[in-house]
Structure 1
């Protein structure tokens, strides 16, 4: 089968490309700038095309370049950008129209849960808009809806990782007692592959086998990582405020963190499990939270491999976001490693590994340094703008 993958450079998209290739499919990986895909180890095994879902001309030319595509995966999302809901809606409509014109048989879309009878967060409302906008005459749509995806490199998982690694006392707002049904990335990939052929058109909730309060999910990571943390009840803290604070104390982009945390007041459990009836489960069953966390923390120190070389899709890949992997991984990949490997080896021999992962004081200091760096970065930008203005006036 020949398939097109949009968002191929993203966390899910890059792993999906590797999984499709293993399944024997012909893959065309789409990106606004195809040259950026050369960093992936599957680069030589795929075709590529330039495709910008926000540009109708680019869409038409991209589908022409992609060839006779049977199934197109839509993994495009502008979350974290200004007015992303409007952008996402327009892009989805244009993509569906271009896919229909190109003779694509099916679109597979991965979005978020849409709990009935609730006021949706901006993030979930945007995901729902996209699912509806992709429905056009002549093209089948399979819409998979998920909550938190567990796996090293996943934004939701990395938020849990940084909070638990850096804060010796974990604040527990009342909304962290709400239930959540996360899904491990290996199960997401299983259902994405099934959706290209065996799953009838329609929308399906996908989730893992466990439903727990959010706070239990946080402490599942604490246990898997071998940490000692204390929870502190903090009632009355709204998700909006929590998102802004979290965006300042962890290295994930501020706007992205705020948008994701803003969805935590919504119901994040499956409303039905028809996907299991039509597609079944992986051979070993769906991945539990405990197993997903255990596998995600493995191999956290060291240079990660490429996506196709991963022994487990829940582990970190070298092409995952620069801020993913935790403090030690980021330092190794982008800090000390930039000078020399012997320097890092010496750093590790002096106890850096245990320092960065288990010593709460070091985590707090690391967090405060990020905050200071964020503030100082904005200050430097303001000073530059001031001098630029003065120079233009002169």
Structure 2
């Protein structure tokens, strides 16, 4: 594959944000066009691309964006369903098609939606098909991929499966949970998108793409449950739930906004499987074959299952895996995370603070509401956990891997941070992190963060149950630690 000059529209979206770094890794020159460049502020590759500010309907911006471009990726689609968005989608596609034709672009690559050949498509799928038709008629060789549910952390369809499955042990659902769907892993979508660069110039058509599994929507939810370590979910298909009512239900029990849930649910009214497999004749499957649904879910959950809390928290940095979260993903994407953050400015130096932090637990206690800590340890022991009084190896020094009451030292950096992983029995995964930031004139900032990844409905109820105590325990803990540090010898 020779290096190409590539324009990506939709670079702040789910697929575009994962495609750009892979194009850069392959040695291509990448330009992106965005309405708001500040949305790219935190993505790790922002400094490696050329950014053109403007909308797809801005003819001047698109002319500048398409200049000297070889391949254009069209990865933009409205999910709001508000107003006459079909006309807006058509106008945007016509604007891009005209700019690409005038600039002599060699190839357009579009990602649309997999859909059956029926007259009553949802507005969402109908508009995506219309965009594909517009680009195919542009006079620029175009490949329009048609994919179904994309599996990966941050994908809207996957996030709906994730949140519904984790929250609801029993789900009254519309009859479309019995419809057949052919999901595809995000890594396989990226494989096809990148391989399309080298397609011959006479290829100008749609291609259905999908993974190796055809499942009912209910099976997808229970497949997620198995990979997430949750019990199988009881799902009852109810004919009375209309798409509108179902979207209200999704909006109630998940963080996905109703304006996004509505077009997704409307698009689930029919089977969504590949009508043809012609793609195999022009683009070979990835090495090792296409990714099965359960493995795709496993990859999307890998960071949490591996205990890699740094890359699982929202807005965290990523290591490049296509199923990982990105800073540009919406706030409701990713595993549900509950955080209790306390920040204190103190006259204590980092060294003074560290002596208190490293000496925490064991006989020194937890600097707040000792009765509550003792009760939590007793309850943990009662249900078969390790209990609070496991103590610590050394009275003042900690090392990675040390047991610390019902915690385990997961990460430690002298005078900077201590992260503890909970080993008490809780319906989820929990961490307690204490950080020190040096300030001016010998002062410090103390940051204390409790993080909880709930498992299912019981995990969410557990967090809500203990939330009233956090104001007492964690506030008191932050106050006492900084006060104690100020009294230590400088």
| Secondary structure, aligned partner of 1:266 | coil
Higher helix share: 1
- Distance across 1 between alignment mates of 2:460 and 2:157: 19
Find out whether 1:322 has 2:360 as its counterpart.
Answer: no
Residues 1:339 and 1:281: Cα distance change in structure 2 (over 3 Å): farther
Question: 1:272 Cα shift?
Answer: 0.5
- Which deviates further from its counterpart, 28-37 or 150-159? 28-37
TM-score norm. by structure 2 comes to: 0.68
The corresponding residue for 1:357 is 454
Once the 2 structures are TM-superposed, how far is the Cα of residue 190 of structure 1 from its aligned partner? 0.3
| Cα displacement (A) at 1:212 | 1.0
Partner of 1:123 in structure 2? 124
Q: Which whole-Å CA distance do the structure 2 matches of 1:225 and 1:361 have between them?
A: 14
**Which of these residues, 272, 295, 320, is aligned with residue 291 of structure 1?**
295
> Hey, what does 2:375 align to over in structure 1?
none
Cross-structure match for 1:312: 321
Residue pairs, 1:106-255, within 5 angstroms: 106-198=107-199, 200-236=203-239, 237-255=241-259
CA distance in 2, matches of 1:220, 1:299: 18
Cα distance change, pair 94–339 in 1 and its aligned pair in 2 (3 A): farther
Q: CA deviation at 1:339?
A: 4.8
Q: Pick which of 336-345 and 132-141 moved more.
A: 336-345
The alignment partner of 1:361 has SS state of helix
Instruction: Out of 46-55 and 345-354, give the one that drifted further.
Output: 345-354
Mapped to 2, the partners of 1:10 and 1:265 lie a distance apart of 25
Is the Cα–Cα contact under 8 Å of residues 165 and 233 in structure 2 kept in the other structure? no
How far residue 287 of structure 1 moved from its aligned partner, in angstroms, is: 0.2
Distance 2:96 2:53 in 1: 13
Residue 71 of structure 1, CA deviation: 0.6
- Judge conservation of contact 1:70–1:106 (CA < 8 Å) in 2: yes
Match of 2:14 in 1: 11
CA deviations 1:342-380 (Å, max 9, x no partner) are 99956956646277432523436889xxxxxxxxxxxxx
Partner-residue secondary structure (3-state), 1:142: strand
**Paired residue for 1:73?**
73
| RMSD across aligned positions (CA) | 2.8
Alpha carbons 1:205, 1:275 under 8 Å: kept: yes
The offset of 1:253, in angstroms, is 1.8
Q: Which residue of 2 aligns with 1:33?
A: 36
Determine which of 28, 32, 56 is the counterpart of 1:53: 56
Aligned-partner Cα distance in 1 for 2:316–2:21? 7
Looking at structure 2, the residues matched to 356 and 33 of structure 1 have their Cα atoms a distance apart, in angstroms, of 32
Distance 1:192 1:181 in 2: 18
Q: Distance in 1 between matches of 2:71 and 2:286?
A: 22
Preserved CA contact (<8 Å) 2:43 2:326: no
Query: Is there any run of 5+ residues in structure 1 with no aligned partner, and where?
Result: 368-394
How many correspondences in the alignment? 360
Greater relative contact order (Cα 8 A, min sep 6): structure 1 or 2? 1
Distance, in Å, in 1 between the alignment partners of 2:288 and 2:150 is: 19
Structure of higher CA gyration radius: 2
- The answer for the alignment partner of 2:97 in structure 1 is 96
What is the SS of the residue equivalent to 1:303? helix
Alpha-carbon distance change, 307 to 93 in structure 1, aligned in 2, over 3 angstroms = farther
Aligned to 2:354: none
Deviation at 1:114, TM superposition (A): 3.2
Distance across 1 between alignment mates of 2:161 and 2:96 = 33
Which runs of 5 or more structure 2 residues have no equivalent in the other structure? 345-410, 431-451, 465-490
CA contact (8 A) 2:62 2:99 kept: yes
Pair 1:58–1:227, CA change in 2 (3 A): same
Shift in Å, 1:56:
2.4
Of 260, 263, 273, 2:264 maps to 260
1:294 Cα offset (Å): 0.9
Does 2:23 match 1:20?
Answer: yes
